[in-house]
Amino acid sequence: MFKRSPSLTEQVKSHLKKRIINDTFESGRIPAETDLAAELKVSRNTIRDALSRLEAEGTIFRKQGAGTFVNKAGLLVKTRLEEIVSYETMIREYGYTPTVHLISTEETASDPQLEAELNLKPGAHLLVIRKLFMADDKPVIFTLTTIPTEIIQLAYTPDDIRAPITDFLRRFCNHEFGYYLSEIVPLISPNWLAKKLDLPQSQTAILSFEEIAYNKNNDPVAKACSYFNNNLLHLRLIRRPGH
């Protein structure tokens, strides 16, 4: 029934998610793990891995001894911060049409703070990219991405820069993206930013992300700052007790 790639677990997960969304499971109850394993011809461990991922993203919940159930409220949550999606996808999941404007690119020298954060030599050269994301032509996210020029190995066009940074790192820097270490910082929007995000010039509180991108070798490879217009997007998160 399933192929070898992507992983069985992933195929089972999306198969089950489709059935959940199409409401194939009456009364919100999902069949027992052993039954699913028999039906889909995979081992129970594979079923469990898939269900664990669906549970982590709030699609289902499980109760030992009772069963596995659809989390109707969880289905309404579109994006969760702890899982990266491109800003275009995020905007689309809120029901808007996304567009990306490349505002500017610029080369500068690094400052001591960035050198520490990205583990650079003093005076390293940096590529600074400014982008504006629109939802139905209303500006919602402004981003400022900083990449050391020394890791860029191929020539690129403005279109390549419009793509998500994870794609740019893979295609032009030969770095597989690993994860973001993010800090959430509240801010009173300065005038230049209020103008870009179409906020009232009177002081408005906004959210910003300051993120260091790490590659699969755990080396810091870029810094990304994002500024959100909270009128349209909501930043949500599922928080669970540590094990």
Partner DNA sequence: CAGTGGTCTAGACCACGGG
Partner DNA sequence: CCGTGGTCTAGACCACTGG
Residue numbers of the site for a copy of itself (CB under 8 A)?
10, 13, 53, 57-58, 61, 63, 69, 71, 73-74, 77, 81-85, 166, 177-188, 203-207, 211, 216-218, 220, 230, 234-243
Question: Pick from a copy of itself, DNA, none: which does 166 bind, CB < 5 to 8 A by kind?
Answer: a copy of itself
What is the C-alpha separation between 146 and 160, in angstroms, rounded?
A: 15
What is the C-alpha separation between 191 and 189, in angstroms, rounded?
A: 6
* Residue 115 in tokens: 């050198």
* Residue 68 in tokens: 């596995």
As measured in angstroms, the least distance from the Cβ of 81 to DNA is: 23
> Which backbone phi and psi does 197 adopt, to 5 degrees?
-90, 5
At residue 154, the 3 state secondary structure works out as: coil
* Residue 230 in tokens: 């909270």
Nearer to a copy of itself, 105 or 210 (CB): 210
As measured in angstroms, the least distance from the Cβ of 186 to DNA is: 36
Question: Pick from DNA, a copy of itself, none: which does 242 bind, CB < 5 to 8 A by kind?
Answer: a copy of itself
As measured in angstroms, the least distance from the Cβ of 241 to DNA is: 13
* Residue 135 in tokens: 């939802």
As measured in angstroms, the least distance from the Cβ of 129 to a copy of itself is: 19
Nearer to a copy of itself, 82 or 106 (CB): 82
Residues within the interface to DNA (CB under 7 A): 4-5, 7-9, 30-35, 41-46, 48-49, 51, 62-68
Question: Pick from DNA, a copy of itself, none: which does 116 bind, CB < 5 to 8 A by kind?
Answer: none
Nearer to a copy of itself, 57 or 151 (CB): 57
**Long-range CB contacts for residues 61-69, cutoff 8 Å, separation at least 24:** 67/29, 67/30, 67/32, 68/29, 68/30, 68/32, 68/33, 69/28, 69/29, 69/30
